[in-house]
Amino acid sequence: MTARSRSLPLYCLILLLVLAALAGLWYGLGRDQALPDPRLANGKLQCASYSPFDHDQSPFNKPLNIRRERVEADVALLAQRFNCLRTYSVTGLDYLPELARQHGIKLMIGAWVSRAPKATRREIERVIRMANANPDVVSAVIVGNEALLRREITAKHLTALIEEVKSRVEQPVTYADVWEFWLRHPEVAPAVDFLTIHLLPYWEDDPTGIDGALAQVKRVHDIFEEKYAPKQIFIGETGWPSEGRQREDAVPSRVNEARFIRGVIDMAEANGWQYNLIEAFDQPWKRISEGTVGGYWGLFDAQRADKGVLAGPVSNLPDWPRWLGLSALLLAAGLLLGGAPRDSRSSWQLPLAAGIAAASLALWSLQLWLDSRHFGEWLWFGALLMLSLFTAARGLLQLNPPAAGWRAELATWLEDRAGILLLATALAGAWLMMAQVFDPRYRSFPTFAMLLPALTFALWPVRGPRDELGLLAVLIGLGLPIMLWQETLLNVQALGWGLVGLLLTGVLWRSRQPAGSIAPQGQQETA
């Protein structure tokens, strides 16, 4: 019996274990989780934020093309769950009260207040006309949304707008902002009929994790009830993101979104609070200004599919079989590239390495799919994916060096360019670490973008230019503790990126050569 035939059973056993591990990974991410349904007094939820944009639309589109058929379908869907909808603008929505009337729901309509006086004036006049024309449907008017937070208007000017609208409509009038800005601008409170506060524990300067988020909501609500009594306190926005980067111990996920939303509903029902959930549908366009997390606050996704947030079992990754299938295809490609095992050592190393590569590539592909907002990011994240593919291929070929054929030619081609791949890894790693230090708020952690390059060059070193690699290693090494200090050690995603950054720092420092250009590894060893 040859060594190859003796190693085949071990190869098959390890391969089965790797397949089981991949299945366990994706099932663990996507399995349904049972949560208690909220207890509703009248069978429907109170109110939800509604933006009338389809999955491919944005308020920045010129001209603004709000599709009536989209709005009609949305109102029909939301009326099954909610008694009220909140809008942030009424531009292009003249027919919305008619639709609300047909479906028996109320509207809280908003005038978008900005630093542009003419646009603000148009919004004010539109909202007044709509309120006066539809007193049976419009239950309240909201003058401005987080305009103080954005520093687009002074509290004095805002108060004057609120007073004007109050004098021209019969409905109660309010202003909506994050709760801290009501405390910073106490002069606004006397002008409104009720206070509309935003309670978003994930976004606060000191984020609150899901385990403490409900207590934070109650704490703030109690403070406002005591401070501003007898005026009513209306929770104008409250919610949790289902995708995106972790902030300290605040982790976006569908399960956490469901936990938070259902908990808020139960708390509101028990205490007689008035609330509005943000938001009805995922809004992909918000990723442009708020990063990945901005596009995933919806109770339904951008295609209007139920995310399971409001009731029933919920999954963090309902399409997990698709990603398992991609992992299996990547595993098969890795095994084909690695070739048949020659001995007992390669018989367990090849399937294990191919499995690690498949999982990492699939996880980065998932993040790429969620994070990419425009062509430039698709190009950049795609380039990082190609870097992982090339370095993973080099590692698999190093594990089981081919003697001849296309695998040997590919191995030679990759080895001739290993120094370039190393320098690309160093540049990408330094850029990504500096971005997390200086502009981290809306950036996801690129752990799986750099894991395979870091591992491959750690196991199969390549020499490179001393000064360049040394400088880039220092940048990554200095940025790492700063990044962890900013994110705190509660941030598991940051810790994962920190471990990859630490590995990359060591790899680059070890890979420096005294002088000269990058040379293939074989030539360096000969020298």
Q: Which of 153-162, 211-220, 366-375 shows the lowest per-residue confidence on average (mean pLDDT)?
A: 366-375
Confidence of residue 6 (pLDDT cuts 50, 70, 90): low
Closest alpha carbon to 232 in 145, 149, 173: 173
State the chain's mean pLDDT as an integer. 94
What are the structure tokens assigned to 201, written together? 């524990």
pLDDT for the residue numbered 7: 74
Q: DSSP of 417-472, one letter per residue?
A: THHHHHHHHHHHHHHHHHHHHHS-TTPPP-HHHHHHHHHHHHHS---EEHHHHHHH
List the beta strands (DSSP E) in 76-169: 82-86, 106-111, 138-145
Domain range annotation of the chain: 3-27+320-526, 43-295
Residue matched to tokens 């609120």 = 162
The helix, strand and coil proportions of the chain, stated in percent and rounded to the nearest 5, come to 60, 10, 30
**pLDDT score of 60:** 85
Note the pLDDT of residue 1. Answer: 47
Contacts for 165 with CB less than 8 Å, ≥ 6 apart? 111, 124, 127, 128, 141, 143, 173
**What's the pTM?**
0.92
The two counts, helices (H) then strands (E), for the chain are 18, 10
pLDDT tens for each residue of 286-333: 998 899 999 999 999 999 999 999 999 999 999 999 999 999 999 999
Return d(Cα 522, Cα 100) in angstroms, integer: 73
Q: Comparing 313-327, 339-353, 379-393, which segment has the lowest mean pLDDT?
A: 339-353
Please name the amino acid found at residue 110: G
pLDDT of residue 344: 83
Q: Retrieve residue 425's tokens.
A: 């890894």
Q: Render pLDDT for 97-119 as a digit per residue (tens, 0 to 9).
A: 999 999 999 999 999 999 999 99
For residue 516, pLDDT over 50 is answered with no
pLDDT at 524 over 60: no
| Three-class secondary structure of residue 182 per DSSP | helix
Label residue 521 by pLDDT band (50, 70, 90): very low
- Tens digits of residue pLDDT in 464-493: 888 899 999 999 999 999 999 999 999 999
Q: Give SS3 for 471.
A: helix
Distance between CA atoms of residues 127 and 143, nearest Å = 9
Q: What does the block give as tokens for 298?
A: 């919806």
Residues 6+ apart with CB under 8 A from 267: 214, 217, 218, 273
In this structure, the strands spanning 138-145 and 464-465 are unpaired
Select from 1.10.730.10, 3.20.20.80, 3.10.20.30, 3.40.50.800 the CATH code of 43-295.
3.20.20.80
Tell me the one-letter amino acid at 129: R
* pLDDT at residue 2, as a whole number: 57
DSSP for 335-360 reads: HHHH-S--SHHHHHHHHHHHHHHHHH
Tell me, what's the pLDDT at 526?
36
Per-residue pLDDT of 228-285, as tens digits, reads: 999 999 999 999 999 999 999 999 999 999 999 999 999 999 999 999 999 999 999 9
pLDDT at position 158 is: 98
pLDDT in tens, 59-68: 888 888 899 9
Of the listed ranges 129-138, 142-151, 430-439, 515-524, the one predicted with least confidence:
515-524
Give the whole-angstrom CA distance, residue 278 versus residue 78.
13
How many CB atoms neighbour CB 292 within 10 A? 22
Per-residue pLDDT at 520 = 46
